[in-house]
Chain A
Amino acid sequence: MAEQQYFKPRSVDEASALLGDHPGAVIIGGGAYVRLGSRKITTAVDLFDAGLDYVRAGADGLELGAMATFRMLETDSLVNGYADGVVSRSVERIVGVQMRNITTVGGTLYGRYGFSNLITALLALDAEVALHRAGRMPLERFFTTKPDPGDILTGVILPDLPWRAAWRDLTRTVNDYAVLNTAVAVREGQARVVVGARPGRGVRCAEAEAALLAGGEGAADKAGRAAAAELEFGDDVRASAAYRRELCGTLVARAAREVLS
C-alpha cells in the first residue's frame, strides 16, 4: 500500500495545488462522513486551517464559508437574522452540539445527500455556490452538473433578498434524519417551495410555487396538495412513499401558512 499522507493547507490555493499534485486525494470537510478508518485514503487534504470557517456579510449577501459548521449556522446572529432564520432552523436539531460542531456547509453540499436539511433550506433561498475552479453558480445548477473531484467548494452566497421563510420537517425521534423536510420562502412576486428527504434530494415544486403566487383563499393548502401530487417519493426504513406523499401535503401547507400569515 502506498504511504499515507495528510495535508493541512493554509489557503484554498494551497489546497488546490495539493489536489492537483495528488490525483485521488480526499478532501476532509467536517470529516463526519469521510470515515477515516473504513476507507482506503492515501492522501487527505483537510480544509480545517484553510480560512473557510466564516459567516460574514459580503458585497452580494450573506456568505457562508465551506468550513462553517452547523453549530455556527445555528447560533450566528447574521444567519438567524436572514430569511426568518430558516437556515438555522434547518440544522439546529441534527444529532447533538458535538456533531454540529464538526459538520460543514461544504461537506454537505458536495455530498449531495438526499436527506439533507441544509440543502433543502438553501435551495429555497436561491443560494449560489462558489467553487475554486468552476466559479460561482446557482446551487440548483451545481446539483445538476457532474461533480469535479479536483475542485473545492469554497462557500455559499445567500443573496440580499427580503425572503419570508419557514421550515418544517418530521423526524421519528427528535434527532433522527428527517422522514421529509420542506422550506417555503416568498417575497414580492416570487415563491419557492422545496421538499427533500423524499428520500431523494431537495427539489423545487413548480406547481406549488404557482399556487402560492396565485394567492387567494386556501393558497397554502393548494400548494401542499400540488407539491404532493407533482413530486416523486420513495420507500426506505423511515417511511413509505405513500406516507411521504401524505406528509408532504401537510408540511408544505403548514410552512406556507406561516410565511403567508
Chain B
Amino acid sequence: MKITFALNGRETTWEIEPVETLLEALRRHGLTGVKQGCDTASCGVCTVLLDGKPVPSCAVPAARVDGHAVLTVEGVPEKARAVGEALAAEGADQCGYCAPGLVMSLVAMEQEPGPPDEDKIASYLAGNLCRCSGYASQSRAIKKYLGGKP
C-alpha cells in the first residue's frame, strides 16, 4: 500500500507493507539513524516524533503515519551534533546506540512549554534506556546543552 506523509519536513510517498512498523519502513528506506532496541516499546532507542510527539517507532504501524508528520534524527542534524558533543564532553555516551533516540526526546522536550527542570529531564530520560554510561552524566550533559543551568 502507499502512504504519503511529511518526512523531516518533506512530502514523501512510500510503498509499504500493510502491517510493518514505522521503524522497519524507515530503516528499509535508508533512514538508519533510527535504531532498533527492545522492539517492545520499552527502551526508547527507536524514538521519532510523530506530529511533534516522541513515540517508539517499533510500536507505531507505518500505515498510521499516512497524512501525518514524522521527524527523525536525520531531520535535525545541527541538534544531533550539538547534543552529541554535550554527551561526549560529559562522558555520557559510549557505544552511542541510544543517542539518536535521546536526541529526538530532547527535541520534543524543548518544544514543551515551560523550562525543562530536573523533574522534566528525569521523566524524559526514564523513557530512553542507556546501558553504558548511566543517567547522572546524561542529565549533566543535557543541562549543559540546554544552556548551562546548574
Partner of B64, one of A8, A32, A71: A8
Can you give 19 contacting A-B residue pairs, CB < 8 Å? A31-B60, A37-B19, A37-B20, A37-B21, A37-B24, A44-B61, A95-B41, A95-B42, A96-B42, A96-B126, A97-B54, A97-B123, A97-B126, A97-B127, A98-B41, A98-B47, A98-B128, A101-B50, A102-B60
Binary CB contact string for chain A from 14 to 51 against chain B (1 if under 8 A, 0 otherwise): 00000000000000101110001100010010101100
In whole angstroms, how far apart are the Cα atoms of A10 and B44 in the complex?
29
Binary CB contact string for chain B from 106 to 117 against chain A (1 if under 8 A, 0 otherwise): 001000000000
In whole angstroms, how far apart are the Cα atoms of A101 and B24 in the complex?
19
B95 within 8 A of A: no
Q: Which residues of A contact B105 (CB under 8 A)?
A: 97-98
A46 touching B42 by the CB < 8 A rule? Answer: no
B61 touching A101 by the CB < 8 A rule? Answer: no
Decide yes or no: A102 and B41 within 8 Å by CB, A32-B59, A97-B105 being known contacts. yes
Q: Which of B103-141 contact A (CB under 8 A)?
A: 105, 108, 123-124, 126-128
In whole angstroms, how far apart are the Cα atoms of A37 and B56 in the complex?
15
B55 within 8 A of A: yes
Decide yes or no: A98 and B61 within 8 Å by CB, A6-B19, A36-B20, A36-B21 being known contacts. no
In whole angstroms, how far apart are the Cα atoms of A30 and B40 in the complex?
13
A174 within 8 A of B: yes
Contacts A98-B127, A99-B56, A99-B127 given; 9 further ones with Cβ under 8 A? A6-B19, A6-B61, A8-B66, A31-B64, A46-B63, A97-B54, A98-B56, A101-B55, A175-B126
B67 touching A101 by the CB < 8 A rule? Answer: no
A96 touching B61 by the CB < 8 A rule? Answer: no
B53 touching A71 by the CB < 8 A rule? Answer: yes
A5 within 8 A of B: yes
Q: Which residues of A contact B44 (CB under 8 A)?
A: 96, 98
A99 touching B41 by the CB < 8 A rule? Answer: yes
A102 touching B55 by the CB < 8 A rule? Answer: yes
